[in-house]
Each structure stands twice: as structure tokens, then as C-alpha cells.
Amino acid sequence: MAPATANGRLPEAVFPHRPELLTHDPWPGDGQRHWTPRQIYRAMHGWAFPYVKSRVLPGDFHPIVAYLFTEYKCNLDCHYCYSFDNRVKGMSEELARGSIDWLHDSTCRVLALMGGEVLLRPKFVHKLVDYAANKGFWIYVPTNGRLLQPHVIDWLADAGVSTFNLAVDAVDEKPGLPKAFNPIRPYFDYLVKKQYRYGYTVFLNINICRNNLDDVKQLTEIAHANAISTDYHINEMPLLEQSHFKHLENNPTYIRQEDQAAVDEVLDWLIDKQQSGYGMTNSVERLAQMKQFMRGELEPWNCRAGQNTVIIRVDGTLAPCFPMYSATYDWGAVGSPKFETAQLRQMKQSCERHCFSTLNHIVGYCYNDRRVIHWLLKQARHGFQGIRGNFE
Ligand code: SF4
Ligand code: SF4
């Protein structure tokens, strides 16, 4: 383990922990998922144990998943995205370290890095992942892939990333959708190839927009051909006013009423594919709900933001969830959270019907002992070799 630094910054990352994996020669087990007991323990440590603790400990704020916004800058400009502002400085090393230490003292053991584009400072992220993995966190790295060069993959995989979420919306770039697959194809191939020896998983994260419906299908087939899963969002306008957001008018990505039938067709196609065995993180029920959401007919759901999920902004202040990044309400800061159940409950009466936050829906759906036990039994039947199915 790297020694602590006296100045409160992140320690230098150790690299490589496993030099033998750096070879480009074939490696035993390449192409086949085999999780070691250590990897299975890390997944249980990340998800199951914090869930149980959150059920038995007194109080309401017991985070299971924390989103750490290390950046708010981005190297792209997706026209639906209000989650970046290139004037905002990235998180300091001291704050990143302090955040991980604080989360480590809580129930939380799942750390999702967030941006902006997380890999704008790859050495910083390498140190951060190495530090958090040493403390036992299950780590999720989302990226648009443009900076995911092979040596960065090796750094982060060797340090202990559990999942790479590769966000792409189109096969080739198109108006308003620069997050495309072909520009990052060589990095994708390397990422997929190396996943088995390091033990991380990869999935494609796809936002369903008005102008990418064919791409959604093509990307789904690409993921399936490479034996990785997909995760879908349905494009939405910002919940809160975002003064820095420039694309509210004439946005080619927003779904209009006249596009709904075409989107329904894609959702039905995805449901068929999932039922025929394609790996997807969204349940069939959840995909079907996207039709309701698009029509403004979403029913209230069991949102657990501010109780079991939390975001840490680049300046160390807290909020319950990603859609509330720009909210001005004071929910406290790292080390001094101020979440109150009554305030959250009242707020959710208005935002829950307009919010399709995928992670919070999953946490809300899964925050149920019967579903957790059922899901764990399903994994046990498969010897905990990778994630089988979703929580449906
Ligand atoms: S790559 Fe991600 S953070 Fe950057 S503009 Fe696109 S959606 Fe937003
Ligand atoms: S419903 Fe959505 S916006 Fe409201 S608190 Fe939950 S995650 Fe946040």
C-alpha cells in the first residue's frame, strides 16, 4: 500500500501492482470471465454489506453509492448535456482524498467518479483509484473514451477499477452527438480484450435521443458481438434551470411528441433483444417505463437519493443526486452532511415524476430485502461469475 502523504494530497499510485498482466501476449483465460474469490469479495463488500448495514443502522443517511465529481470540464459538447462547465476547476487532491476518507468512515463502498470528463487528468484519476481501491471501494469510471488510451486502461485496471462505463450515443459523430464509437474503436478493442485478465467489466452507456435511433440498435449489436452489456437512458431536458447550458433551443437530440412512435419501436426492439438474452442493465420493466416517461406519465417511485446515494461536487458540497447538481439548497459538505428526510420527501413530491435517474431508480427498486435476496441467490447459482441479469 502507498504511504500516506503528510500534506493531505493523494499518495503516488503504485504501478504496476501486477506487472505480469501488462504483456500483449495471449494470457490464460483471456476471453472468458472468471472472477477470483478476491473479486467476488470486493463486489459483495461494495454492494451487499453496505445494504445490510443501511437496513440495520439508526438514522436515514447511509450512503451505498457516492458520485464523486472530480471534474466539471469536458472535452466534448453533447447538446443534451448540462453536466459540464469549462470554467469550473477540477477537484483538488486534498478534497478527493478527504472525500474518500469520509466515505470510508460511512457505510459507502461504491465510488462512481463523475464529470464532465473524468479522464481529463489521467494521473490524478490513477492516484485516486489506487487510493480508493486500497480502501476497499468498488470503483466505477464513466468516460466518453476519447482519452482512454491503452496505457491509461492499464493504469486504472491495475489500480483496481471494477467497471468502465463507456458512454457513446452514435456510431459516427452526428450533429449534437459527438460521443461516438468509431473515433474510440481502438481503445474499445483494447478495453474489451484486457477485461478478463484484470477482472473489470465494461458496458456501453447509450442515451436514446431523437436523432440516434438507428445508432442505438447498431451500438446494441456491437456490444452484444463483444459480449458486453448495455445501459440506456432516455434523453431529457434539465430538471433545474442551468445558466451555463447553451442548447435549450433548437436541440436536435430532444424527443418531440411526433418522435414518440419511433422511440417506442426502438424500445420494443430493445425489450425483444433483452428477452432473447442480450445483456442489459435496465430491466424490461424499466425499458417499458421509458415510454411513460417520454409522455410525462411517470408514477412516483422509491427514490433513495440523499439517503443511500449522494453526490460530492467539485468544491466538496453535497447534494442528493446528479439532477440536483446546480441546486442552491444547503445539504452540507464532506464531513458534515445536512440531509433531512422531511425536506427530501417534500422535494421528491415534485421531482420524482419528472426524473428518470437510472441509478436512483435501480437503488430505489432494489432497496427491498426480498429482491436483494432473490438477486444474490441468482448470482450464487452461477458461482458469482459476473453479474447475471438485472434486478427484475
Ligand atoms: S461527454 Fe459526457 S460530460 Fe461531456 S458533454 Fe458529453 S455527456 Fe456531457
Ligand atoms: S427524484 Fe430524481 S431529482 Fe428528485 S431527488 Fe430523486 S434522483 Fe434527485
Name the residue ranges covered by the structural domains of the chain.
46-360
Name which residue leads in pLDDT, 342 or 388: 342
| Helices 358-366 and 284-294, packing angle to 10 deg | 130
- Each residue's pLDDT tens digit, 321-330: 999 999 999 9
pLDDT of residue 379: 64
19: pLDDT strictly greater than 70: yes
322 pocket-lining for ligand 2 (C-beta < 6 Å) = no
For residue 66, the model assigns a pLDDT of 96
Nearest ligand by distance to the CA of 349: 2
Nearest ligand, CA 331: 2
User: Is the peptide bond preceding residue 116 cis, with omega within 30 degrees of 0?
Assistant: yes
Q: 130 or 53: which carries more pLDDT confidence? A: 130
CB of 303 closer than 6 A to ligand 2?
yes
AA identity, residue 309: T
* Ligand 1 centroid distance, CA of 177 (Å): 9
Q: Is the CB of 78 under 6 A from ligand 1?
A: yes
Is 306 close to ligand 1, i.e. is its CB under 6 Å away? no
3-17, 62-76, 96-110, 258-272: range with lowest mean pLDDT: 3-17
Query: For all residues of the chain together, what is the average pLDDT?
Result: 90
pLDDT(177) > 90:
yes
Q: Which long-range contacts (CB under 8 A, 24 or more apart) does 257-266 make?
A: 259/210, 260/291, 260/294, 260/295, 262/213, 263/208, 263/210, 263/213, 263/234, 263/290, 263/291, 263/294, 264/291, 265/213, 266/208, 266/213, 266/216, 266/217
Is the CB of 118 inside a 6 Å radius of any atom of ligand 2? no
Q: From the CA of 246, which ligand is nearest?
A: 1
- The answer to whether the beta carbons of residues 166 and 145 sit under 8 Å apart is yes
Residue 194: predicted pLDDT: 96
Q: Would the CB of 364 count as within 6 Å of ligand 2?
A: no
Fold annotation for 46-360: TIM Barrel (3.20.20)
Q: Report the pLDDT averaged over residues 62-70.
A: 94
**Span 260-279, average pLDDT:** 97
Q: Phi and psi of 38, rounded to 5°?
A: -65, -40
Which phi and psi (to 5°) does residue 175 adopt?
-55, 125
Quick one: pLDDT at residue 93? 97
pLDDT digits 0-9 by tens, 4-18: 565 799 999 999 999
pTM as predicted: 0.91
Confidence check: pLDDT of 262 > 80: yes
Average pLDDT over residues 332-361: 92
pLDDT at position 391 over 60: no
Sign of CA dihedral 120, 122, 125, 127: negative
Can you name the residues that pair with 203 across neighbouring β-strands? 165, 229
With a 6 A CB cut-off, is 233 part of the ligand 1 pocket?
no
Closest CA to 42 of 166, 163, 202: 163
The atom number, within ligand 2, closest to the CA of 301 reads 1
Ligand in closest contact with the CA of 350: 2
Q: Is the CB of 323 under 6 A from ligand 2?
A: yes
More confident residue, 364 or 158: 158
